[in-house]
Structure 1
């Protein structure tokens, strides 16, 4: 059964029942020390309390981190991958991820993504490079498959839209210059920033990445649509093709 409720006064410590309870103890430590002091598995565990009542969720939290390697990777994992994760609780009973639990974790990730995206809505993107890099790291650094995104900008270099233009495999995402230019014209975008991720972790461009970028640059010239940069995101960092002189 769920542990007994805890009487809590903001001016004093919680009154824990004698038999205590792991959930109450963890909540108590989070209140006193702040959630920032919790290790990743306990932060995830605390969140799972709301998704899975009356069960020992620590093994599942640790299983998620073991399966995906980190908290950001676990939160951003595809649904089908999350559903493969299971663990045994403290009573020896199987505890499996469900679509509802996965959705709860996806909501946490999406809230984080929107939070880091917010500064980009209030300023010119190319003058807020650190904010842009932070946003891209959260959005793509742990994506298990390649994803090709376009940041469409207006004449003031403010963000009009951030759209996924192609999903791919672990090492390739298709990009079609005509489709990118067509969408730019639809949005009245005068410039774009190309973005894709390398699930391998290494953000350095391949020759294919460089050739693709040059094709998109060429497609934009007669339409007077500028390609500001092509950024490649990996767990090891973000590479700018313009800065390394690739186009």
Structure 2
């Protein structure tokens, strides 16, 4: 009889341990889902992107260049300022944009820079850079959706003007 009691006690202890492990596994899966599948705002319209970028770049006193990395559903994975410049320019290296796009496993990207002068009119250099970035990102199958210039008023979208 004592053997049966020990077996029952062992089964109860084992069942309790399994229940605790299952609870721990469920919690770990919840954490994994949150880390892997929780993204930032869904940036599907130029107005949504313009507002997002204005908040991030309007106060910069020198020129900066950043990228919003997006998943396949155009949800923000990350926003990074990759390059810092002076009051009237910043050096941008497509290689670094490609490298960070791969690091984020991005499906698409929106690039942005600010003009501390307030003028959002793109220079010829801005338009040439956009073309170079588009070519570089195309090689790794990351779509360049837009290039915004943040200054006074509403940020300018190069895509909306047909310059992408």
Normalising by structure 2, we get a TM-score of 0.72
In the alignment, structure 1 segments of 5+ residues that lack a partner are 1-119
Query: CA contact under 8 A between 2:83 and 2:92: conserved in structure 1?
Result: yes
Q: Which of the pair has the greater relative contact order for Cα pairs under 8 Å at 6+ separation?
A: 2
Q: CA deviation at 1:131?
A: 3.3
Deviation of 1:151 after TM superposition, in Å, equals 0.1
In the alignment, what sits opposite 1:237?
154
Assess if the C-alpha contact under 8 Å between 2:44 and 2:74 holds in 1.
yes
1:121 is the counterpart of 2:34: no
Deviation at 1:160, TM superposition (A): 0.5
Equivalent pair of 2:53/2:150 in contact (CA under 8 Å) = yes
Match of 2:131 in 1: 214
Equivalent positions of 1:36-75 (< 5 A) are none
- Contact 1:142 / 1:234 at 8 angstroms: preserved in 2? no
Aligned length: 126
Aligned equivalents of 1:132 and 1:241: distance in 2? Answer: 13
Q: In 2, Cα distance between the equivalents of 1:135 and 1:125?
A: 9
Q: CA deviation at 1:164?
A: 0.7
Q: Does 1:204 align with 2:121?
A: yes
TM-score relative to the length of structure 1? 0.49
| CA deviation vs aligned residue, 1:94-143 (integer Å, no higher than 9, x gap) | xxxxxxxxxxxxxxxxxxxxxxxxxx924x2124x433322222221231
Q: 4+ runs of 1 displaced by more than 4 Å?
A: none
Task: Give the 5 Å matches for 1:85-96.
Answer: none
Which has the greater radius of gyration? 2
Q: CA RMSD in A?
A: 1.5
Residue 172 of structure 1 and its aligned partner are, at CA, apart by 0.5
> Which consecutive unaligned segments of at least 5 residues does structure 2 have?
1-38
Q: How far apart are 1:235 and its partner, in Å? A: 1.6
Q: Could you tell me whether the CA contact under 8 Å between 2:50 and 2:148 is conserved in 1?
A: no
Secondary structure in 2 matching 1:126: coil
- Residue 204 of structure 1: CA displacement? 1.1
Q: What is residue 178 of structure 1 aligned with on the other side?
A: 95
**What is the CA–CA distance in structure 1 between the aligned matches of 2:71 and 2:84, rounded to whole Å?**
25
Q: Which residue of 168, 185, 190 corresponds with 2:85?
A: 168
Q: CA deviation at 1:229?
A: 0.1
